[in-house]
Amino acid sequence: MYLKNKTVKDMYKICVIEGDGIGREVVPATVNVLKATGVDFEFVHAEAGDEVFEKTGVALPEETINTAKECDAVLFGAAGETAADVIVKLRKILNTYANVRPVKAYKGINCLKDNIDYVIVRENTEGLYKGIEAEITDGVYTATRVITREACEKIFKFAFEMAKDRKKQGKEGKVTCTHKANVLKLSDGAFKSIFYEVAKNYPEIKTNDFYIDAMNMYAVLRPETFDVVVTSNLFGDILSDGAAGTVGGLGMAPSANIGDEYGLFEPVHGSAPDIAGKGIANPTATILTGVLMLRYLGENKAADRVEKALEEVLENKLTTPDLGGTLTTFEMAEEVAKRV
């Protein structure tokens, strides 16, 4: 996993933003698991999301942004309807340009195939999520999709470095670019051609590219053939939820937002109002997010221990109902913590 390794420290300050809905369950459950590693953490709690918006009229308080910037990493749960003003905004403020979304089949989980192990790298700062929308005349709405050479070069370099790193760990060493260059001729035409330009610096890494619609099908038919998949913001958002569905669902999908200065870690899922407060949310996505955070901090041994403990818990079906078990969110996390 190519995550910018920070210098190993004696103590890490982590900004914890639980947010809304199941964020308030899966994040504290994961904090218990992180505490069990013995790594010295100071957890600094900060607010964001629908609830703080209802109270104060601001979804992402200035104080939260400052805390996030002062800490070694941010662990985020989920926002509800304010997600665009909270998490999409925070990713931009912290300039975490790479959204890393591993798609991995764990034993004991009902996956499409048992040898799925790839990573989606999603451009995180522009594309359709730039948020440039307008009503140009009555009843006619536009959204501007922004693709810049600078952001393309950065995200492709990140993807290739990750593939290099994964190759060292025995993976294939391949980057797949996915786009819609046949229709979005100018913007995705550039996206595709810059991909092959950057690829020239990595002759040891294999490359290919697919249109996003076909890619979506391949992610279902032959997910085991992918190693690193790189794409733009909206395509990555859609592709990664579908991909999560091939390895057990959103409860299994972690993510890391990485920039040159900051790391922001969050499960792929949202606040899940349909199950919030019932104690049945699957904490796996957030625990795996914690594993990504540990690797980012350079605490690889602790990361391995958490992942191994989680694997054991999954194999033994000591899980929440979505995975066929009978445990609550906190009970499942406790089973992991015990084994760390």
Residues that bind ligand NAI (CB under 6 A): 22, 26, 78-81, 83, 87, 250-251, 266, 269-275, 281-282, 285, 322
CA atoms within 13 Å, Cβ hemisphere of 297: 27
Which one of the listed residues 9, 69, 196, 213 is annotated catalytic?
A: 213
Which of 237, 299, 334, 335 is close enough to bind Mg ion by CB under 5 A?
237
**Considering CB distances under 5 to 8 angstroms, the limit depending on partner class, which of ligand NAI, Mg ion, none binds residue 335?**
none
**Considering CB distances under 5 to 8 angstroms, the limit depending on partner class, which of ligand NAI, Mg ion, none binds residue 290?**
none
Active site residue 237: yes
Stretch in the footprint of Mg ion (CB under 5 A) among 10-18, 231-239, 258-266, 286-294: 231-239
**Considering CB distances under 5 to 8 angstroms, the limit depending on partner class, which of ligand NAI, Mg ion, none binds residue 319?**
none
The first and second tokens of residue 248, run together, are 């057990």
Residue 146's DSSP bridge partners are 127
Q: Cβ closer to Mg ion: 51 or 237?
A: 237
Shortest distance, CB of residue 237 to Mg ion, whole angstroms? 4
Stretch in the footprint of Mg ion (CB under 5 A) among 37-45, 83-91, 233-241, 329-337: 233-241
Which helix or strand (DSSP H or E) is residue 17 part of? strand 12-19
Task: Give the Cβ contact number of residue 205 at 10 Å.
Answer: 21
Shortest distance, CB of residue 338 to ligand NAI, whole angstroms? 21
CA pair distance 193, 5, nearest whole angstrom: 30
- Per-residue DSSP letter, 228: E
**Considering CB distances under 5 to 8 angstroms, the limit depending on partner class, which of ligand NAI, Mg ion, none binds residue 81?**
ligand NAI
Residues 6+ apart with CB under 8 A from 173: 163, 164, 166, 167, 204, 205, 206, 227
- The distance in angstroms from the start CA to the end CA of the chain is 21
Shortest distance, CB of residue 227 to ligand NAI, whole angstroms? 25
**Considering CB distances under 5 to 8 angstroms, the limit depending on partner class, which of Mg ion, ligand NAI, none binds residue 237?**
Mg ion
Exposed e or buried b for every residue in 234-258, given b needs 16+ CB within 10 A?
bbbbebbbebbbbbbbbbbbbbbbb
Q: Cβ closer to ligand NAI: 214 or 238?
A: 238
CA atoms within 13 Å, Cβ hemisphere of 24: 16
Which one of the listed residues 50, 154, 237, 262 is annotated catalytic?
A: 237
Cβ-closest position to ligand NAI: 270
Task: Give the Cβ contact number of residue 126 at 10 Å.
Answer: 22
Shortest distance, CB of residue 303 to ligand NAI, whole angstroms? 20
Catalytic residue ranges = 129, 180, 213, 237, 241
List interacting residues with Mg ion (CB under 5 A).
Answer: 237
